[in-house]
């Protein structure tokens, strides 16, 4: 049974997920390179660690949710990493969005200590993380998944075992393809409404009851109307995800023109001042610029 968890990465997603695990009665030892992020969790009852190794020591399982493949690899199997701290037979669950190759590579090293690895990326954004309603898509050994089920239930609702290690990341890649193109479609629709003199807020409300309904129209459509581009999900993060999809497309000879388009849009957003840290709903800002259109509400 999993009781003690090392938790690494207390950002937009990790902080609310860790809080839900604390509320769910788990003993948490947390680590992040940002000290204040650790302090905030300690104030809510977590123990602090000064390295991934320390977070992993005496834990039954370690969870990480971090920005990139390189960082996850270093945290997992680099110096003072999870591998050094976690006991033989422990479980390492990475919930970041990565290339499917990264968990497979990390797992080879972890197997030297019989540590099982799961790739368990999530969908639902900061709102889903706070609500404990994330979708979790899991790859790896079924026995490790079964042991982690009660833990996943504290942070997510739609929890699915997909297949072997890396399969969770493939599912998440599919998710990001759909989310990116839906954000692009919602941006185009709200821009068209605004430019033709029709209230985009009324259009959004009307569409929420029809076939165009989506979580992106609901949450990101509202962000676009509010001109709220504080990140939920950063442009830099979604840029990484479409790059993963494009690299898989190149490897398998797939024609994915919509994904290529959104990948280019994230590139363009990133080259705006501060654009990497805008929320990914900010695609609408690029379309407005190119359409010489004033912002839907406000002028930023
Ligand atoms: P974030 O940048 O807000 O958080 C990342 C955290 O990792 C930060 O607190 C940072 O200080 C910490 N960190 C960086 N390097 C570290 C290291 N070497 N050791 C320990 N901590 C380190 O990012 P986020 O939005 O929370 O995203 C994290 C992961 O979750 C990404 O892989 C992303 O693709 C995925 N994800 C994000 C969302 C979203 O909407 N934000 C949704 C689903 C999945």
What is the percent of the chain with per-residue pLDDT over 90, rounded to a whole number? 97
Residues 6 or more apart in contact with residue 5 via CB below 8 angstroms? 21, 26, 27, 28, 29, 59, 60, 61, 62, 63, 151
Please give the pLDDT value at position 109.
98
Please give the pLDDT value at position 297.
56
> 170-290: what fold?
1.10.1040
Distance 66 CA to ligand 1 centre (A): 4
Residues with pLDDT less than 70, the chain: 296-300
- Pocket test of ligand 1: the residue of 16, 29, 65 to mutate, having most ligand atoms within 8 Å of its CB, is 65
Q: Give me the chain's average pLDDT, please.
A: 96
Interval 270-296: pLDDT, tens: 999 999 999 999 999 999 999 988 776
Q: Using the atom order of ligand 1, give the atom closest to the CA of residue 98.
A: 32
Interval 177-214: pLDDT, tens: 999 999 999 999 999 999 999 999 999 999 999 999 99
Please give the pLDDT value at position 293.
87
- Is residue 172 part of the annotated active site? The answer reads yes
> 4-165: what fold?
Rossmann fold (3.40.50)
> Could you give the residue range(s) of every CATH 1.10.1040.10 domain in the chain?
170-290
- The answer to whether the CB of 183 falls within 8 A of the CB of 286 is no
Residues with CB under 6 A from ligand 1: 8-14, 31-34, 37, 65-67, 71, 75, 96-97, 122-123, 125-126, 232-234, 237
> Could you give the residue range(s) of every CATH 3.40.50.720 domain in the chain?
4-165
Q: How far is CA 59 from CA 44, 47, 87, 121, 139, in A?
A: 19, 12, 8, 21, 21
What tokens appear for 135 in the block? 């979708």
Closest CA to 173 of 245, 281, 247: 245
């Amino acid at each position: 049974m999993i009781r003690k968890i090392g938790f690494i990465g207390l950002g937009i997603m990790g902080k609310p997920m860790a809080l839900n695990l604390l509320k769910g009665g788990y003993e948490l030892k947390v680590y992040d390179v940002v000290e204040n992020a650790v302090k905030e969790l300690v104030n809510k009852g977590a123990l602090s660690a000064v390295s991934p190794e320390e977070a992993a020591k005496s834990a039954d399982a370690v969870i990480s949710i971090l920005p990139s493949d390189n960082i996850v690899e270093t945290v997992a199997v680099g110096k003072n990493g999870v591998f050094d701290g976690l006991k033989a037979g422990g479980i390492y669950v990475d919930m970041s969005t990565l290339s499917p190759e990264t968990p497979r590579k990390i797992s080879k090293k972890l197997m030297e200590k019989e540590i099982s690895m799961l790739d368990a990326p999530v969908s639902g954004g900061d709102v889903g993380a706070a609500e404990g309603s994330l979708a979790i898509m899991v790859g790896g050994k079924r026995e490790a998944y079964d042991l982690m089920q009660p833990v996943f239930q504290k942070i997510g609702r739609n929890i699915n075992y997909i297949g072997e290690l890396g399969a969770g990341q493939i599912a998440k890649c599919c998710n990001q393809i759909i989310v990116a193109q839906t954000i692009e479609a919602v941006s185009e629709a709200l821009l068209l409404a605004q430019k033709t003199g029709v209230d985009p807020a009324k259009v959004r409300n009307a569409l929420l009851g029809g076939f165009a309904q989506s979580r992106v129209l609901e949450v990101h459509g509202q962000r676009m109307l509010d001109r709220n581009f504080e990140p939920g999900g950063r442009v830099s993060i979604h840029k990484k995800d479409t790059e993963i999809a494009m690299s898989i497309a190149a490897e398998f000879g797939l024609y994915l023109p919509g994904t290529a388009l959104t990948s280019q849009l994230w590139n363009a957003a990133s080259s705006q001042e501060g654009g990497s840290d805008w929320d990914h709903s900010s695609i609408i800002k690029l379309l407005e610029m190119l359409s010489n259109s004033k912002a839907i509400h406000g002028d930023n």
